[in-house]
Chains A and B, each alone.
Chain A
Amino acid sequence: MIDERFDAIVVGAGMAGNAAALTLAQRGLKVLQLERGEYSGSKNVQGAILYADMLEKLVPDFRDDAPLERHLVEQRFWMMDDNSHTGLHYRSDEFNEERPNRYTIIRAQFDKWFSKKVQEAGAVVLCETTVLELLQDAYGKVIGVRTDRNSGKIGADVVVLAEGVSGLLGTRAGLRKMPDKNNVALAVKEMHFLPQETLEARFNLRGDEGAVIEAVGTISQGMTGMGFIYTNKESISLGIGCLVADFEKTGQTPYGLLEKFKQHPSVAALIAGSEVKEYAAHLIPEGGFKAIPQLYGDGWVVVGDAAQLNNAVHREGSNLAMTSGRLAAEAIFQIKSRRDPMTKKNLALYKKMLDESFVMKDLKKYRDMPDLLHIQAQNFFLTYPQLVSKAMTNFLRVDGTPKREKEKATFRSFLTARSPMGLVGDAVRLARAWR
């Protein structure tokens, strides 16, 4: 027996679920959103950089009251070996614009705010409720959900699966496969608190300006992975993530890696004296375009990380989640307005809209990157950063060696580490995958 009925049920109150529930409620649909956490955000982990454009499409005046930490004026990219880093910095005063393009956020706080918008738009939001199972009719059409609340079964014309990368429901119902350990990264993260002035002095920031650092190199011990350091108002989000399969192969522990990253001289100076207030971990879908599962079916759609919509090359996920959630909701609204049923055929509209958006276009552009980076991990994440460090130290040390000899030595070190064919091959492969 189904106890109650809604036009749509949204499972999950993360970036994708909130975007979907908000859009559906704004269009006047009767929406129920279910979240297992104590509140929206209490289970969620992110770096976290927020991209304004995708949020603006949902909450145009979000800057008025959203809990934003800093707007980004500087991006650093570090190639690290054990004692040094070679950095690329890009800083521009143009990012000090009236409506900044990127911000850092703290997910637990941001999601709570986002969820308030969803509730104000009229959706029924039930937290502390884990959805246990999708209800399907004899033909396999999804007709509702069963939760761990006493009330039990709830019906809906369509269920939006915004359950995140570890989503159980879609995989258990056989709608998609579980992510492969070769295609997901495990990231561990700490929150380091520092007095605001100290933080601003260390990162060369004024007011609400923020800087972020992405780092590759020996810190990942030859695994496909990256470290990150993001500045918040009075804290630093610091973490590192590598492919699960790589962790398994190398036997490195995630916390061991995090500790070494923190102890690196370039990092230690930035966090010296900080107070750590939280330790978290989360998976990131990294399979890209080729790992995207079936996105819709009779009575259901899947959005965000659950659908592997994550651009690992650019460290973008929340914006793809928000966009897919919004587009799924718009498709549902259109179908509903025509009084058509939520069949697989009709819900294909969501996929069509997604294909036309930056989400699929970007993921398609980088479809070969995961294979390249995952298979060539040693070269891209260990050998090259080490070589660059060697070249830099060689270049900068003034020791009476003629410059020409130094250049030769650097060139030779690249050739010995990686044959000429290897070097050319890597360059070509990278260029192709980047295309």
Chain B
Amino acid sequence: MKRKLTMIQAITEAMDQKLADDSRIMLLGEDIGVNGGVFRATEELVHKYGPDRIVDTPLAEAGIIGAAIGLAMNGKIPVVEIQFLAFIYPGFEQIVSHAARMRYRTRGQYHVPMVIRTPYGAGIRGPELHSESVETFFAHVPGLKVVAPSTPYDAKGLLIAAMEDPDPVIFLEPTKLYRAFKQEVPEEMYRVPIGKAKVVQEGSDVSIFAWGAMLRVAEDAAKQIERENGLSCEVIDLRTLYPLDRDTIIASVKKTGRAVVVHEAHKTAGLGAEIISIINDEALIYMKAPVKRITGFDVPVPQFSIEDDYLPTAERVKDGIMETATF
């Protein structure tokens, strides 16, 4: 049967099906029970699985994430919801010092199969600290996997894969896309593999790399530029930010010789720099132009009166494409 779901519905369904499928799965977070989470990702689940598996925790991110680490080490698979990415910071210590290192420190004796889900990104007119895009913090820490879907289909498949992954996964959900559009999503459980990018649109002149909410901006720019200038863009959704899918990146730039990276995170030390480095290491001689980065700026994400000016736009991406194309 064909049904269309929003990303938030796809995420709920992924958790619902895994909860039914695996009794070790439990959800923890602030307001995820009767309230169904601030974005309603856990809507109704507490009525189905009870308060022992869908746990409304005290307001304490270090407590939630730290306890989840212990739960994971001792037979459970905790899926944690943090209300907004910026509110993960009180639990950051637990993520980097413990979740990420437990396997390493115990030489494989213990491991931490857990998922930390959190909305991220700007464009929703949120108050201060509700729009951050700091995926680099996590991609920088060995021991974590970092995932950022851009479609309902991928969100479900990647979240199921994340819940089955033996390592801690930071699962970044682009807030702006939660209810932005619907897509056909299979009813059964399926997996989208972690670590694999997706070629969303094939092309021959320029490769565009993006993830999360920026994928739509990249696709938009690619369509416009094709119409206006006849340039053929290959659009790639990275989907997993750690580990990066090097093969797909390299194969694409070998074909096109030009690349643009689009991310809403701050420019300096953003993942764009890493992607450029990979290209330099592996495909420099194929390149006809320096790789362009279209990113958020090195400023705190501004309040919503000028929030849209912070975010990369299709216009800015098109400028970047033209710069590499006419280098």
Same complex: no
